[in-house]
A and B are shown apart, each in its own frame.
Chain A
Amino acid sequence: MTDSKYFTTTKKGEIFELKAELNSDKKEKKKEAVKKVIASMTVGKDVSALFPDVVNCMQTDNLELKKLVYLYLMNYAKSQPDMAIMAVNTFVKDCEDPNPLIRALAVRTMGCIRVDKITEYLCEPLRKCLKDEDPYVRKTAAVCVAKLHDINAQLVEDQGFLDTLKDLISDSNPMVVANAVAALSEIAESHPNSNLLDLNPQTINKLLTALNECTEWGQIFILDCLANYMPRDDRESQSICERVTPRLSHANSAVVLSAVKVLMKFMEMLPKDLDYYGTLLKKLAPPLVTLLSAEPELQYVALRNINLIVQKRPEILKHEMKVFFVKYNDPIYVKLEKLDIMIRLASQANIAQVLAELKEYATEVDVDFVRKAVRAIGRCAIKVEQSAERCVSTLLDLIQTKVNYVVQEAIVVIKDIFRKYPNKYESVIATLCENLDSLDEPEARAAMIWIVGEYAERIDNADELLESFLEGFHDESTQVQLQLLTAIVKLFLKKPTETQELVQQVLSLATQDSDNPDLRDRGYIYWRLLSTDPVAAKEVVLAEKPLISEETDLIEPTLLEELICHIGTLASVYHKPPSAFVEGSRGVQHKRIPARAGSGESAESSDVGQSGPSEAPPAVIPSQGDLLGDLLNLDLAPPTATVPSVQPSMQMGAMDLLGGGLDSLMGAGLGVAPAAMPTALGIAPAVGGGLGDLFDLGGGVGMPTGSYVAPKTVWLPAMKAKGLEISGTFARRGGIIQMDLTLTNKAMSVMTDFAIQFNRNSFGLAPAGPLQVLTPLSPNQTIDVSLPLSTSGPVMKMEPLNNLQVAVKNNIDVFYFSCQYPLSLIFVEDGKMERQVFLATWKDIPNDNEAQFQIKDIHLNSDAASNKLQGSNIFTIAKRTVEGQDMLYQSVKLTNGIWVLAEMRIQTGNPNYTVNENQETWRML
């Protein structure tokens, strides 16, 4: 055997020579030639020119030659559809061959020839093969249905192949059953609503029987299919579990993981006090541990899954900490995953061992791994209070090693420990300060600065330390700049006498010399706070901080549930739902865990289960980031409103509206005099407009209740943006403001790297996350994105009030446009005012703050109107009828805490509404 020679023919005129050889009379020569062709094809050479010659070799009784020709056909048929027809006859003939191996080969290959014209000829032979007497042919035909469905779904349905496939689930041969299940599952995925895989107790029983008999692969197909089934009650659930558990001893890890998936899912339905439930839990641990002695790649898959399982049911593996200890020779990807699980399993019982291990790891070579190990020590301190002291001393030891990245990582986690246990470990500050000079990473610098600011009163030379950072202020990253600003303000509030100069310096650096809006804003806030009311400033800046909790890294529960349903698959490896990485409709269905049985006799027990203390799901801060991600995002980021230093900016927002912007706003109103009361504020015109908007739609019939969403309009035409067209609208869904965008690429080149930013606006709207355009946008492609918005961004009065200026960036350029959002967007859900409060407030509002206008041509009665308005978070507080007129009293609350009260007079029969509005602001502090 020296087939390797075929790889080395690189002569000129090769194709020509091959052609001659292919047409040779000698069989051997022909076969040689076809082999050469296949070798060239493998290497990537284009040998499609030989198509007719190769196909001519198909008519042979030499099976090896035939297989080679088929291989060629599968590769090139698509590029030569007309010639591929030439092969049809042979296929049809082969499907009648007395040798089952040849029949199967023909039906297998036919399905791989993706030429529309051929598929028609395929149907008859396929139908025969599906009913072939030989199981080998049937199991091949079953898969062929899935292939054909992929080419032409309609054809498969029309020809009734789906029913035949369903019948095969009852086949006597286990492998036929397994392949039929695989094919049906795949087809069902592209028809989410069809009842194709009609799983009922009878079919489930058939599947469970076949499970014991088929190949390891077949077992996987069946188990994966079973996982989609919803048992009717806990009994059925238990009986399935009982029949699946033996699979946990299978040598094939994929069989084990798929069995684990079925068990994890169905276990949810079992009452917790059932003996069997406990038995099942115990049975799950050993096989999971055994997975760790598999090959490293499988270990990786197993560890990613165990990470999910440990979050869902920590009790399963709580005694198995040791098996997750890292081995010196483990590949890095296994090491990192083990570390993750070690932290999840750390508890008071095993913390001593864990710490000893982590300390070892911190001296390893791989930088990522060492960093993660150091972070893990910090996490242990926060998770297990009793160990905090030992963790801190371990961290101090590590700092003494002077290894740069170890020191930096240690400082970042010590900051977290301070946040968890204030006033306990501050004695170590001196040691930290010694390492100030060696810090070159922004995160570590920011952490150190935070520590210095927070404990300024205990550090004698805090001012010198901070001053030293100030020298290179402009070269620092934003994170460090913001931290430095806050730290110096803290220092000033603690030691006002010596640091006045310093604070002025930093404030002017931040406000005058910086391009960063966040920094400028924070600077201004501090400046005003300090200049107007130092006592308030102290209360705000030096306020007691909330303690941080330990479990900030858990996967969000709904996602976790979905991922549990995908155990063993790529989704569980990526820790992302399939829709995040699978194109098209496939796999986008969300799977969920069945609910525990809550009816009949099991009701009692399930109640017990649910009230069990261990069952309380831990409070979760949704973050999918790295397990060891920073606990406290001390810097930047408006979403972290828990950090007190950000709060002032929100207050500032309110003040801004009250102050500067106020007069003009009022003036621009309906000729209303400037507000007499400092707390009152008019926003009449815009509100009026908004209401008008809402009622404009009133004419439409059957508008669903719920916030109205305007159809998308084009905001940025393609001509203005080098081919990028953006249209969009705003919506408020379940209390979350969303900007729905449609991006269309009308240019010739691919667009990537999308990002979005808003200018300051009246209500502080800002993107709450990055613009999620994950894939490059190819020419003529359109993508819909939903961008969640927060209202904690910087505030500036706009004209008109609901104007929003947006900048969108992609790999080509930055584009600007502006759009207007409906005012109802910022009406919050809890805007229903107490009746008494409403009455009192109504009276207190001076007439000056009142505006009145009419809305015309609305054919609605008062109830319908009130319902409709409620959908937009305008709440009817009271209704009364005076002289044939319905009076509605309504309240609205804006995101910035401003209340708007309205009286609406509806004259029955008269399509004109009169609205009296009163505004009142409450400062939400």
Chain B
Amino acid sequence: MIGGLFIYNHKGEVLISRVYRDDIGRNAVDAFRVNVIHARQQVRSPVTNIARTSFFHVKRSNIWLAAVTKQNVNAAMVFEFLYKMCDVMTAYFGKISEENIKNNFVLIYELLDEILDFGYPQNSETGALKTFITQQGIKGQHQTKEEQSQITSQVTGQIGWRREGIKYRRNELFLDVLESVNLLMSPQGQVLSAHVSGRVVMKSYLSGMPECKFGMNDKIVIDKQGKGGTTDEPGKSELGGSGKQSIAIDDCTFHQCVRLSKFDSERSISFIPPDGEYELMRYRTTKDIILPFRVIPLVREVGRTKLEVKVVIKSNFKPSLLAQKIEVRIPTPLNTSGVQVICMKGKAKYKASENAIVWKIKRMAGMKESQISAEIELLPTNDKKKWARPPISMNFEVPFAPSGLKVRYLKVFESKLNYSDHDVIKWVRYIGRSGIYETRC
């Protein structure tokens, strides 16, 4: 199991050091600093073995978190724990920075004592932790016996992510379907790979212990219902825009509140949600993805000292919808000496420090086209190595789900309190963002 946990600043100074196992000595702290943080070479692996001691590290801005062990631990678990640790810290004091860590070191030690026992991760849900560990010192002195046992049963219980007795005057919930669409396209316009990785994030402000059921246009469910007697043919009727009837989900994973065995047997998503914001599910699709933009590059080398670049972008969705925050990044060679750009829409700039032409467009409606052309002057070099021509990348945000996912319902049942599904105010929003959206040139 995890033998120790260290947090360093960018210089390699220790901010937090907690040792859980006897086989980890103080010298481990230095070994990591010398061999990884101060190493000359770029990090080649997130797992490092130094003198039979294994170090797992993750970096958040310029802070290093390292877990140390001498045993054959579950490596996936250690990384998941480190991420979780970051989440917990962020939930308590915001951004993970040297300043914040120093300011909260007592709190961090307290958390580390609670969520890692002898190197075994324990309940690390912030919802539960916040009931008895707070930044204003520990609660506990003035609690009643009932409160105490409520805390302990929540921390250890089946529904460790939600406490009893939550009350809201207005029962409300927000669903965000956030998708990132990834594309790798060849210069000729052939899709090399495309997939959508999506998340359903829920903010719930519901009283009591509500039982929720979430439904979406999952092909398997729709097909099953279709067979059940309803006449409408799935996937055929509605056309245009993102109006697919059902989508094929390659795979999905759920927050621990979702009853997985029920999903496995009936493919229904039912759960008691944590209070506040959390990620209900993640999913991935690869079929019938709506690619919001198409990038058509044209690069011509004019002699040894000049490049001509022309890039056309085409938006490919309903004309009534608007894409936002569009940015096209066209890489330039390292020996670029000057760039002249002409674009029809938006603003374009050559950024020498980033070796790229950055073209920004605030808004663009569907089924439109725009173009940029640039002349790049090059310094003559005797460098034999050819310019690698990194792909042209794109960023954008569109108000629909490129996968075609639609939320069909989210039903709330709370038998003990007197509010029904109709009384809950529900909001749904779709946002499609670019993930790694690249076209080779």
Residue ranges of A at the interface with B (Cβ–Cβ < 8 Å): 1-4, 6-7, 35, 38-39, 42-44, 61-64, 67-68, 70-71, 75, 98-102, 104, 108, 111-112, 114, 134-137, 139-140, 143-144, 146-147, 150, 173-176, 179, 182, 186, 212-217, 220-221, 224, 243, 245-247, 249-254, 256-258, 286-287, 289-290, 293, 295-298, 300-302, 322-323, 325, 327-329, 331-333, 353, 356-357, 360, 363-365, 401-404, 566, 568-574, 578, 581-583, 586-587, 775
B22 near A67 (CB under 8 angstroms)? no
Query: Which of B44, B83, B118, B156 interacts with A143 by CB under 8 Å?
Result: B118
Cβ distance A70 to chain B, nearest Cβ, rounded Å = 8
Q: Which residues of B contact A363 (CB under 8 A)?
A: 386, 388-389
Cβ distance B143 to chain A, nearest Cβ, rounded Å = 8
B436 near A3 (CB under 8 angstroms)? no
Q: Interface 1/0s, chain B 419-440, versus A by CB < 8 A?
A: 0000000000000000010101
B113 near A251 (CB under 8 angstroms)? no
Cβ distance A299 to chain B, nearest Cβ, rounded Å = 9
Task: Tell yes or no: B45 within 8 A of A by CB.
Answer: yes
SS class, residues of chain B in contact with chain A: mixed
Closest to A224 in B: B74
Task: Tell yes or no: B178 within 8 A of A by CB.
Answer: no
Cβ distance A450 to chain B, nearest Cβ, rounded Å = 26
Q: Which residues of B contact A574 (CB under 8 A)?
A: 47, 49
A136 near B74 (CB under 8 angstroms)? no
Q: Roughly how many angstroms separate A98 CA and B195 CA in the complex, as a whole number?
A: 55
Q: Roughly how many angstroms separate A353 CA and B261 CA in the complex, as a whole number?
A: 38
Q: Which residues of B contact A213 (CB under 8 A)?
A: 158
Q: Spot the interface stretch: B213-221, B234-242, B249-257, B318-326.
A: B249-257
B106 near A176 (CB under 8 angstroms)? no
Q: Given A136-B155, A175-B123, A215-B256, 10 more contacts at CB 8 Å? A: A1-B104, A43-B13, A67-B109, A175-B156, A186-B1, A215-B160, A249-B263, A325-B193, A566-B72, A578-B72
Task: Tell yes or no: B294 within 8 A of A by CB.
Answer: no
Closest to B262 in A: A246
B140 near A99 (CB under 8 angstroms)? yes
A573 near B75 (CB under 8 angstroms)? yes
A251 near B254 (CB under 8 angstroms)? yes
Q: Roughly how many angstroms separate A706 CA and B132 CA in the complex, as a whole number?
A: 66
Q: Roughly how many angstroms separate A574 CA and B71 CA in the complex, as a whole number?
A: 13
Query: Which of A221, A403, A570 interacts with B384 by CB under 8 Å?
Result: A403
A246 near B263 (CB under 8 angstroms)? yes
Closest to B117 in A: A143
Q: Spot the interface stretch: B51-59, B307-315, B359-367, B398-406.
A: B51-59
Task: Given the known inter-chain contacts A7-B102, A61-B141, A143-B118, please indicate yes or no for A150 contacting B124, CB distance below 8 A.
Answer: no
Q: Roughly how many angstroms separate A293 CA and B199 CA in the complex, as a whole number?
A: 12
Q: Roughly how many angstroms separate A566 CA and B75 CA in the complex, as a whole number?
A: 10
A254 near B386 (CB under 8 angstroms)? no
Q: Which residues of A contact B118 (CB under 8 A)?
A: 111-112, 143-144, 146-147
Query: Which of B1, B82, B145, B251 interacts with A290 by CB under 8 Å?
Result: B251
A150 near B22 (CB under 8 angstroms)? yes
Q: Which residues of B contact A569 (CB under 8 A)?
A: 72-75
The 22 sampled A-B contact pairs (Cβ below 8 Å) are A1-B103, A63-B138, A63-B141, A64-B137, A100-B152, A102-B140, A134-B149, A135-B156, A140-B117, A179-B117, A217-B120, A254-B74, A256-B253, A258-B77, A286-B284, A293-B197, A298-B79, A328-B436, A333-B46, A403-B385, A573-B75, A582-B72
B42 near A332 (CB under 8 angstroms)? yes
Q: Roughly how many angstroms separate A850 CA and B23 CA in the complex, as a whole number?
A: 64
Q: Roughly how many angstroms separate A134 CA and B102 CA in the complex, as a whole number?
A: 34
Cβ distance A800 to chain B, nearest Cβ, rounded Å = 42
**In residues 151-205 of chain B, which contact A (Cβ within 8 Å)?**
151-153, 155-158, 160, 184, 186, 192-193, 195, 197
Closest to B186 in A: A356
A173 near B72 (CB under 8 angstroms)? no
Cβ distance B111 to chain A, nearest Cβ, rounded Å = 11
Q: Roughly how many angstroms separate A61 CA and B99 CA in the complex, as a whole number?
A: 30
**In residues 88-117 of chain B, which contact A (Cβ within 8 Å)?**
99, 102-106, 109-110, 113, 117
Query: Which of A63, A179, A290, A295 interacts with B120 by CB under 8 Å?
Result: A179
B193 near A329 (CB under 8 angstroms)? no
Q: Which residues of A contact B1 (CB under 8 A)?
A: 182, 186
B156 near A136 (CB under 8 angstroms)? yes
Closest to B80 in A: A254
For chain B, which range describes its interface: under 10, 10 to 19, 20 to 34, or 35 or more residues? Answer: 35 or more
B72 near A587 (CB under 8 angstroms)? yes
Q: Roughly how many angstroms separate A461 CA and B23 CA in the complex, as a whole number?
A: 64
B52 near A35 (CB under 8 angstroms)? no
Cβ distance A266 to chain B, nearest Cβ, rounded Å = 17
B193 near A323 (CB under 8 angstroms)? yes
Q: Which residues of B contact A364 (CB under 8 A)?
A: 388
B22 near A114 (CB under 8 angstroms)? yes
Q: Roughly how many angstroms separate A191 CA and B282 CA in the complex, as a whole number?
A: 41
**In residues 325-356 of chain B, which contact A (Cβ within 8 Å)?**
none
A101 near B260 (CB under 8 angstroms)? no
B284 near A290 (CB under 8 angstroms)? yes
Task: Tell yes or no: B16 within 8 A of A by CB.
Answer: yes
Task: Given the known inter-chain contacts A249-B253, A329-B436, please indicate yes or no for A38 contacting B148, CB distance below 8 A.
Answer: no
Closest to B193 in A: A322
Q: Interface 1/0s, chain B 1-35, versus A by CB < 8 A?
A: 10000000000011111011111001001000000
A582 near B70 (CB under 8 angstroms)? yes
Closest to B331 in A: A328
A139 near B109 (CB under 8 angstroms)? no
Cβ distance A625 to chain B, nearest Cβ, rounded Å = 17
Task: Given the known inter-chain contacts A7-B102, A573-B75, please indicate yes or no for A44 contacting B80, CB distance below 8 A.
Answer: no
Q: Roughly how many angstroms separate A63 CA and B142 CA in the complex, as a whole number?
A: 11
Q: Roughly how many angstroms separate A275 CA and B154 CA in the complex, as a whole number?
A: 42
Q: Which residues of B contact A64 (CB under 8 A)?
A: 106, 110, 137-138
Q: Roughly how many angstroms separate A758 CA and B253 CA in the complex, as a whole number?
A: 58
A568 near B46 (CB under 8 angstroms)? no
Task: Tell yes or no: B391 within 8 A of A by CB.
Answer: yes
Cβ distance B104 to chain A, nearest Cβ, rounded Å = 6
B80 near A252 (CB under 8 angstroms)? yes
Cβ distance A152 to chain B, nearest Cβ, rounded Å = 12
B121 near A38 (CB under 8 angstroms)? no
Q: Roughly how many angstroms separate A689 CA and B186 CA in the complex, as a whole number?
A: 75
A42 near B103 (CB under 8 angstroms)? no
B261 near A246 (CB under 8 angstroms)? yes
Closest to B195 in A: A323
Q: Roughly how many angstroms separate A217 CA and B119 CA in the complex, as a whole number?
A: 11
Closest to A7 in B: B102
Closest to B257 in A: A251
Q: Which residues of B contact A102 (CB under 8 A)?
A: 140
Q: Which residues of A contact B122 (CB under 8 A)?
A: 139, 175, 179, 215, 217
Q: Roughly how many angstroms separate A176 CA and B44 CA in the complex, as a whole number?
A: 39
Q: Roughly how many angstroms separate A350 CA and B303 CA in the complex, as a whole number?
A: 37
Closest to A332 in B: B44
Task: Given the known inter-chain contacts A217-B120, A217-B124, A254-B74, please indicate yes or no for A301 contacting B256, CB distance below 8 A.
Answer: no
Closest to B98 in A: A4
Task: Tell yes or no: B135 within 8 A of A by CB.
Answer: yes
Task: Tell yes or no: B301 within 8 A of A by CB.
Answer: no
Cβ distance A474 to chain B, nearest Cβ, rounded Å = 30
Cβ distance B269 to chain A, nearest Cβ, rounded Å = 10
Q: Interface 1/0s, chain B 61-88, versus A by CB < 8 A?
A: 0000000011111111101111100000
Query: Which of A144, A295, A323 interacts with B79 by CB under 8 Å?
Result: A295
Query: Which of B14, B70, B106, B117 interacts with A583 by CB under 8 Å?
Result: B70
B76 near A216 (CB under 8 angstroms)? no
Cβ distance B363 to chain A, nearest Cβ, rounded Å = 27
Cβ distance A456 to chain B, nearest Cβ, rounded Å = 31
B152 near A136 (CB under 8 angstroms)? yes
Q: Which residues of A contact B17 (CB under 8 A)?
A: 42, 44
A217 near B77 (CB under 8 angstroms)? yes
Task: Tell yes or no: B232 within 8 A of A by CB.
Answer: no
Task: Tell yes or no: B276 within 8 A of A by CB.
Answer: no
Task: Tell yes or no: B380 within 8 A of A by CB.
Answer: no
CB-CB nearest 6 A-B residue pairs: A286-B251, A4-B102, A136-B152, A254-B76, A246-B264, A246-B260
